[in-house]
């Protein structure tokens, strides 16, 4: 697994919060439950051949594990947020089109 740290010019780490905190935040803002996210993610999962189950999502939200790249992308697309924002970096929340 590759860990990338994004830093500002002065060398300060841009990562401010945990992925679990970001997931909780977006769920709260949008009134989403885990089952809602899984339902919305299904088309993205099928299209990309990625399995995202209740256990995975629960572990991400509780902070037990961090999503791997392919599941992070699915969550970002599902929630329409930037993958880097979801990882906890201090970047724009909105997902860039593309």
Is the pLDDT reported for residue 82 higher than 80?
yes
Residue matched to tokens 């037990």: 64
The answer to whether 27 touches 40, Cβ cutoff 8 Å, is no
Is the pLDDT reported for residue 6 higher than 70?
no
Q: What is the pLDDT at residue 12?
A: 57
Q: What is the pLDDT at residue 10?
A: 56
CA dist 78 → 10, 14, 68 (Å): 33, 24, 15
Please state, in angstroms and rounded to a whole number, the distance separating the CA atoms of residues 91 and 12: 14
Model-level pTM? 0.82
Contacts of 6 (CB under 8 A, 6+ apart): 13, 14, 15, 84, 89
Under the banding of pLDDT at 50, 70 and 90, the label for residue 90 is confident
pLDDT in tens, 40-76: 999 999 999 999 999 999 999 999 999 999 999 999 9
pLDDT in tens, 20-36: 999 999 999 999 999 99
Q: What is the pLDDT at residue 16?
A: 79
């Amino acid at each position: 697994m590759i860990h990338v740290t994004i830093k500002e010019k002065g060398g300060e780490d841009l990562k401010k919060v945990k992925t679990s905190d970001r997931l909780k935040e977006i769920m709260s803002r949008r009134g989403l439950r885990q089952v809602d996210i899984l339902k919305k993610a299904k088309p993205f999962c099928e299209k990309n051949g990625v399995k995202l189950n209740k256990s995975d999502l629960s572990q991400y939200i509780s902070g037990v594990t961090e999503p791997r790249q392919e599941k992070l992308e699915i969550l970002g697309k599902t929630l329409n947020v930037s993958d880097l924002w979801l990882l906890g970096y201090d970047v724009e929340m909105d997902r860039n089109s593309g």
